Amino acid sequence: MQDGDGGADRAGPPDRAATPPLEQRPTFLVHRINARLQQICNPVMARHALDLYSSRILVALGERGTMSVGALVELMALPQSTISHQLKRLERQGYLTRTRSARDNRSVELALTPRGREVAAICDRLSHAVLAPVVETLSAEERAKLVSLLQRMFDALGSAGQAARAIAEDGAE
């Protein structure tokens, strides 16, 4: 399977002739979009000692109020260790608090501090400003379809782990 896109015959190896060039593969386009977002957002977020991932964490907490670390890991689709590192840094910066859940001692609840709410609002305004050209370019129907297709792509990639592990094992031989 090439970069998670087309050309894969479920019964056999990928059909390289049917695989589009890298710049036409949806997964590569998503990579380019994320790279562009980082180019735009990271200089603004650097003023607050944040990167794109940590700003997204603040926006998520700003929208939801409080949430468990597990729920945040699920939402962000990042490894627990990556989230843990981000949370420790955000806590040291005074943007959030981490407390043991009163309902389940195994769970840690996250909440923004007043300073965290201020910075989360800046991050959210930046997110809306970055989204504005997309909103202006696409109709409401196109945006809904795009979100639906991206969600389907995300869900489909959940099964790619097994194929990736098989490729890794082949390369180890």
CATH of residue 41: 1.10.10.10
Asked whether residue 169 carries a pLDDT value surpassing 90, the answer given is: no
pLDDT score, position 7:
47
pLDDT tens-digit readout, 69-86: 999 999 999 999 999 999
pLDDT for the residue 123: 96
Residue 9 within a domain: no
Q: Provide the number of structural domains found in the chain.
A: 1
Q: Is residue 147 part of a domain?
A: yes
Give me the domain span that covers residue 82.
22-156
Q: What is the arithmetic mean of pLDDT over 130-149?
A: 94
Residue 141 lies in a domain: yes
Give domain status of residue 149, yes or no.
yes
In a domain, 172, yes or no: no
Enter the pTM of the model.
Answer: 0.81
Asked if residue 63 has pLDDT above 70, the reply is yes
| 144 inside domain | yes
Q: What is the 3-state secondary structure (H, E, C) of the chain?
A: CECCECCCCCCCCCCHHHCCCHHHCHHHHHHHHHHHHHHHHHHHHHCCCCCHHHHHHHHHHHHHCEEEHHHHHHHHCCCHHHHHHHHHHHHHCCCEEEEECCCCCCCEEEEECHHHHHHHHHHHHHHHHHHHHHHHHCCHHHHHHHHHHHHHHHHHHCCHHHHHHHHHHHHHC
In a domain, 130, yes or no: yes
Q: For 88-125, what is each residue's pLDDT tens digit? A: 999 999 999 999 878 877 889 999 999 999 999 999 99
Residue 81: what pLDDT? 94
pLDDT band at 162 (very low <50, low <70, confident <90, very high): confident
Q: What is residue 49's predicted lDDT score, i.e. its pLDDT?
A: 95
142-151 residue pLDDT tens? 999 999 999 9
> Is residue 109, in this structure, part of any structural domain at all?
yes
What are the pLDDT digits (tens) for 3-61? 555 544 444 556 666 889 999 999 999 999 999 999 999 999 999 999 999 999 999 99
Q: Looking at residue 9, what is its pLDDT?
A: 45
